[in-house]
Amino acid sequence: MSDPPAINVRCPACRHVGSFSHVGVNDVTSAVVEKQANGRFAQIGTKSFGIRVCPNTECNSVLFFARQTPGGATVTFPAEVIDFDASNLPPSILGSLEEAVKCHSSGCYRASALMIRRTLEELCEDKKALGANLKARIAALNAVAIIPTELLNAADELRILGNDAAHIEAKDYDKIGEEESELAIELAKELLKAVYQYNALLTRLTALKKGNSTLP
């Protein structure tokens, strides 16, 4: 019997994409049947269930998967997560962003939007952006960090989306589903890059100039 096939997914733990191999345990399969017009049942596919391990030797996380063939998507547990760059992010901000990403991967989209709003609050707290409310504190970010106007506008939209997630009476967005949640995370990632990561990249680049012998 041949080894169970590998599956290509993003690891929920280390967030690297890889080819997850089997762990020495055969997959379990079951037939998918459908009732035909003549009243008889016929097999229309197969469901497979199994265990795979992350190929990253520093991770080696194990996940479970289920897949239907033909044409079925692969579902994993833990679920795949949106990737993001965690470098130079303060621990409180990183924790809120990670929770938003995990909520999104679990289908808890309103909870994800709430955690993105908290990420904004953590950002304002870290940068000492003051104001009577979050809207005012977001506007004050421009005085304490170099942020493009478009990203500041995006941050305010994330605040509004978070309000809709938290309050029944808030109706600026018709719904908060997968697409809204994913876009909120992507915009938050870009905002955090502008505040915490672009300068670090520039510092690394300038350190490579002649006369600079060491990297920071």
Q: What three-state secondary structure class fits 22?
A: strand
On the question of pLDDT at 85 being above 80, the answer is yes
Residue 115: Cβ-neighbour burial (10 angstroms; 0-12, 13-18, 19+): buried
The residue-averaged pLDDT of 90-107 equals: 94
Confidence of residue 172 (pLDDT cuts 50, 70, 90): low
The residue-averaged pLDDT of 40-52 equals: 91
Confidence of residue 209 (pLDDT cuts 50, 70, 90): confident
pLDDT (tens digit, 9 = 90+) per residue, 113-170? Answer: 999 999 999 999 999 999 999 999 999 998 888 888 898 999 999 998 888 888 777 6
pTM: 0.77
Higher pLDDT, 198 or 19: 19
Residues counted in the chain = 216
Task: Work out the percent of the chain whose per-residue pLDDT is above 70.
Answer: 94
Q: Are residues 113 and 181 in contact, defined by beta-carbon separation less than 8 angstroms?
A: yes
On the question of pLDDT at 215 being above 60, the answer is no
Confidence of residue 73 (pLDDT cuts 50, 70, 90): confident
The one-letter code for the residue type at 102 is K
Q: Which domains, ranges and CATH numbers included, belong to the chain?
A: 7-77 (no CATH), 91-206 (1.20.120.330)
